[in-house]
Structures are given as structure tokens and as C-alpha cells.
Structure 1
Amino acid sequence: MGRPTAGTILRMKKTDVKPKKKTPSLKNKIRNLERFLKKDTLPEDMRLAKEEELKELQRQTEDKQEEDKSREITLKYKKVRFFDRRRLMRSLKKLKRQLDAVASNEADNASEIEKEFQQAKEDMMYVYYYPKGERYINLFPEAKKPHSNEDLARQTTLKKAALKAFKKDADHTAFDQYCFNDDDAPVDDTKKVEKKRKVGKDGKPKRKEKRRKSNTERVNVVADMDDAVAGAGGEDDFFL
């Protein structure tokens, strides 16, 4: 029987790798502890320790469920909240330009623009400080689907809470960035060094062609590997 090829040796090595042991989930840990506590022969000190451990695991399970629920609600209303932010961002940028223009001209409508700017800023606070894990009530509902009185009352309460949280924060750098910096804006790559690409006769950059190995080359590589393995085996037999 001939010696195994390089591919066979590689497959044999992969089968020798032992799979990693799975860590038991919180649900399994709780079930095992509950079964363990049903024993009547447990010492009192051990029973108390295991009961405390069971309470801690149950608390971790409740926290995880709340976290999963909060994440699910956040993802559900992420798009609606994003549209509110983009709309307010455009309004704030427009009003900011108008404020800069009227400041130099000393126009009469400066106070009205300032009032609109402050209102848009407070609406952005509502979006920024909105509590996680709670159903999002959008600022710009459709005319066919107006908010209920309950939602409007809740929205007013959340706006007051957002304004209070804004005043409580000492540093407003993150909020200002949230108002005026668009995360989806293209990144400025002017400072990066661009690699020179070859230009063709038509003046357009040449596309780099990827060379694929043919079936003949692949067969030759496998054959060379098999010859190398066989050659190594031959030398070992010679010295033996």
C-alpha cells in the first residue's frame, strides 16, 4: 500500500483537532441547580450557598431578557428615529446659515430665526436623549396617522426630560456632533497617498487582471507534493 498523499495527511490532521467544550447556558445552570437542591441529604450551609447562586443566576437571566427586549425595540424603530434626525439636521444647518447671515446684516428677523433654531435644537434633544427600550414616538407623523392623545402627552413629557438631561450634561460636544455631523457623509481621503495606476492609450487607468490557475497547473502542484512526500519516504527507507 502506498504512502498517503499530502491532501490525505492534511485531512487526517484536521480530524485530530478536538472540538471546544460548550459553556452551559444560564437556563441549563438554573435547571441543574434546581435539580441539585431537590436532594434531601444536602448540608444546610451548602443548600444556602446554592440557593444564593440560584438567585444570582435568575437575576442575570432577567437582566439578559430586558437587554434583549430593549435591543429589539431599538432596532425596530431605528429607521424612524434616523429619519427624524436627518430632517432636524437639515433644518439646523439651514437655520445656522441664516443666523450667520443675519448676524452680519443685523436683520430684523434675527429673533424669529433664533427661536426656530432653538426649537429644532430641542427637538433634536428629544431624539438624542430618547430612553432606550421604549417605543419611539416620531416627531413628524403622517397626516393619515396622527398620534393619539396618550402618545402626545408622553412625547411632551419626554421632551421636558430631554431638555433637563441636556442642561445636566457639562459637556455638549457629543450632542453638537450628533446635530451637525452626518455619519453617512463621504470620508475625505485627500490626505491619503494615492497609488499610481498605469494608464492605457485611451487615457483611462488600466484594470488589474487577476490570473487564475488552470486545471493543469493545479494537477502539477498536487503531483509535485505527492512526489515530495514519496521522496521523503524513500530516503527514510534507505537509511533504515
Structure 2
Amino acid sequence: MNGRVKCSSKFRNKNKPRSKRIRDLQRLLKKNSLPDEVRVASKSTLESLLEKKEITSAKVSQKDLSKKYKMVKFFEKRKASRAVAQAEKKVKGGDISGGTLNKLREAQEFLNYIEYFPRTQAYISIYKQPASEEALKLRNKILKSVNNMVANKKLPQALGWSKFGASTARSSESSAQVLEKNEERLTDDFFL
């Protein structure tokens, strides 16, 4: 003997790569002289392997896209969270003009967009003008849908960055609470 130990086919198939097992099962199913029990078992195994392959490939592409756009999203998130902090500071300082509240709302919407952008798509920058009209329409569509989901409380409000770089909750009030209070103030007759 050559020193190799033979093992049963049951264990040999487990060690084969998934793509080879899929190809082997597809070839097996092409045979006409296959018993019905074997054909049914092979089909179910093939379907489960194809499903696992699809899930794995989606995860790999998602990981590649997140790695590719990590730096862009980081800098945009910092920019948006700084804009939120500046607008909140102005609002807390007493400046409750419409422009300040609009800046706060827009910055919070941008922060939501950056945080909840679909990980299965190539990231479209929120601050840089897209090269094509298609990309601009897609960006606006995603921006609108993400912020609608946040407004309908299907997604939590995105949080900004602290001075130390960690994502933290606002200490006293979130920007959404500040916006709600100031909208109430603007509609109140006392402040008019």
C-alpha cells in the first residue's frame, strides 16, 4: 500500500469544496438511470448548496463594498455629525430661526443616509455631486426612503460621533427632540 487510508464516500464529499459538490450533483442529476429516491435527495441537497453559495457570495460582495467605501463613509459621517453638533449648539443657544432648524434637519437626514445606506450597493456620496443623472436619482430615492423609515420609526435615529470618535447617544436630548420642541415653540403664539 502507499500509506493512504481509504475513507467512505460519505466523508469524502464533506471535504470537497462547495462548487465541486454542486457540479457533481448536477452531473448526477443529468443521468436518466437514477432511482427516484436518490434523485429527490440529490435535488434537495443541490438546492441547499446553491442557496448557501448565494448567501456566501452576497456576504463576500457586501464585505468588499463596505471595505471599499469605509473611509468615504467615515469622513462623511464626521462632516455630518459636526454639522448636527453646530446646529444643535445654535438652537440651544437660542437661535431658532428656520434656517438653523433646516440645517439641523438636513444634517440629521445626511447622517441617517450615511448610516443606513444599503450595504449591497456601491455607496453614492452625499456631499459630492454624482457623475451621472441616474446616480443622483438613486441617491435621492435612497435618501428619501431611509428618512421615511426613520420618521416612521422602522429604523432608529442615526447617532453622531463624539470628540473621541466613538458613536454615542446625545447626553440630554437628541436632535429630533430638539427639532420637535422648537417646532412647537414656533407655532406657539407666545413666541410670535
Q: TM-score, normalization: structure 1? A: 0.56
CA distance in 1 between partners of 2:70 and 2:63 (Å): 10
CA distance in 2 between partners of 1:66 and 1:36 (Å): 27
CA distance in 2 between partners of 1:168 and 1:182 (Å): 30
Q: After superposition, what is the alpha-carbon deviation per residue over 1:172-191, rounded to whole angstroms, capped at 9, x for unaligned?
A: 3xx35x22446635xxxxxx
CA distance in 2 between partners of 1:164 and 1:49 (Å): 46
- What is the Cα deviation at residue 117 of structure 1? 0.5
- What is the Cα deviation at residue 57 of structure 1? 1.0
Cα–Cα, structure 1 residues 171 and 35, in superposed 2: closer, same or farther, change >3 Å?
A: closer
Quick check: 1:87 aligned with 2:79? yes
What does 1:104-143 align with in structure 2 at a 5 Å threshold? 107=95, 110-141=97-128
Q: After superposition, what is the alpha-carbon deviation per residue over 1:59-118, rounded to whole angstroms, capped at 9, x for unaligned?
A: 22122222211221221111111111010111111111111111xxxx5x5332111101
8 Å contact kept, 2:149–2:155: no
CA distance in 2 between partners of 1:134 and 1:111 (Å): 35
Q: What is the total number of aligned residue pairs between the two structures?
A: 154
Say which of 152, 160, 167 aligns to 1:179: 160
| Equivalence for 1:32 | 24
- What is the Cα deviation at residue 170 of structure 1? 5.8
User: How big is the alpha-carbon RMSD for the aligned residues of Structure 1 and Structure 2?
Assistant: 2.5
CA distance in 1 between partners of 2:154 and 2:137 (Å): 28
8 Å contact kept, 1:30–1:57: yes
| Equivalence for 2:39 | 47
Q: After superposition, what is the alpha-carbon deviation per residue over 1:171-221, rounded to whole angstroms, capped at 9, x for unaligned?
A: 73xx35x22446635xxxxxxxxxxxxxxxxxxxxxxxxxxxxxxxxxxxx
What does 1:156-195 align with in structure 2 at a 5 Å threshold? 156-169=140-153, 172=156, 175-176=157-158, 178-181=159-162, 184=165
CA distance in 2 between partners of 1:44 and 1:171 (Å): 48
Report 1 or 2 for greater relative contact order, CA contacts < 8 Å, sequence distance ≥ 6.
1
The letter of the residue matching 2:92 is: D
CA distance in 1 between partners of 2:69 and 2:20 (Å): 33
Paired residue secondary structure (2:103): helix
The letter of the residue matching 1:33 is: L
Calculate percent identity across the aligned residue pairs. Answer: 23
* Runs of 5+ unmatched residues, structure 2: 1-11, 167-192
Q: After superposition, what is the alpha-carbon deviation per residue over 1:141-173, rounded to whole angstroms, capped at 9, x for unaligned?
A: 27xxx532221111111111111110232673x
Runs of 4+ aligned structure 1 residues displaced above 4 Å come to: 38-41
8 Å contact kept, 1:141–1:147: no
Paired residue secondary structure (1:135): coil
Cα–Cα, structure 1 residues 98 and 44, in superposed 2: closer, same or farther, change >3 Å?
A: same
8 Å contact kept, 1:92–1:180: no
Larger Rg computed on CA atoms: 1
* Runs of 5+ unmatched residues, structure 1: 1-20, 186-240
